[in-house]
Amino acid sequence: MADPMRIRAQAAGGNATVRVLMAHEMETGQRKDAAGKVIPAWHISDVTATHNGKTVLTAEWGPAVAKNPFLQFTVKGAKAGDKIAVSWKDNKGDSRTDEATVS
């Protein structure tokens, strides 16, 4: 199971800005190891964000998103106490979901 994401959701002006830091190697598949063998691509491929259970954002990512990916988006009409959940799936079948409360 991967390391937890850090999710910060702050309400301001009737919306909530959500900042997520995910823990993932995001290996491009371009690098070679010391023996000269290509290190296979290993990266988050799908991301989903929900607000109080309703999907508000989905995304598809390639390997060029930076290691330990950062993502920021703004949920309309979110207020303090609402729940924001972010999930990701990677190309090896691993996945992770973390939740935060809007403050």
With contacts defined by CB under 8 A, name the span among 6-14, 32-40, 60-68 that binds another protein.
Answer: 60-68
What is the rounded distance in angstroms from the CA atom of residue 14 to the CA atom of residue 2? Answer: 33
User: Which one-letter amino acid corresponds to residue 81?
Assistant: G
Q: Is 10 in the site for another protein (CB under 8 A)?
A: no
Q: Which two tokens stand for residue 23?
A: 């823990």
Q: Is 91 in the site for another protein (CB under 8 A)?
A: yes
Q: Are 49 and 40 in contact (CB under 8 A)?
A: no
Residue 75's φ and ψ, nearest 5 degrees, are -95, 125
Specify the length of the chain in residues: 103
Of 3-11, 31-39, 63-71, which segment contacts another protein by CB under 8 A? Answer: 63-71
CA distance 53 to 67: 28
Q: Smallest distance from the beta carbon of 68 to another protein, in angstroms?
A: 9
* By CB under 8 A, residue 9 contacts another protein: no
| Interactions with another protein, residue window 68-87 (CB under 8 A) | 69-77
Which residues contact another protein (rule: CB under 8 A)? 15, 26, 28, 30, 45-46, 51, 54-67, 69-77, 89-93
